[in-house]
Amino acid sequence: MKHSHVVLLAGVIFTVSSCSKESLKRTGYETLQNVQEQRCQKDLSSECPERESYDAYQRKMEELDTPRQ
């Protein structure tokens, strides 16, 4: 039984370490977007904000980081 826990833990560590940093950021962003959408629907708001894709969000952040001349 103990051996199976070690193998399972090693598998989880391998899987998590193989995820790229970008993939983790994208997943976190999409999770937050889902939470926001669920809250809006739960509150029965008439106007929920439109979801912004992660790629659009990244472009916006890059524009803010780019120094203007």
Radius of gyration of the chain (CA): 19
Can you give the pLDDT at residue 33?
A: 92
CB within 8 A of 52, min separation 6: which ones? 33
pLDDT in tens, 5-62: 656 666 566 565 556 788 888 999 999 999 988 888 888 767 888 889 999 999 999 9
Which pTM value belongs to this model? 0.60
Does the structure show a pLDDT above 60 at 1? no
Can you give the pLDDT at residue 29?
A: 92
Place of tokens 């826990």: 5
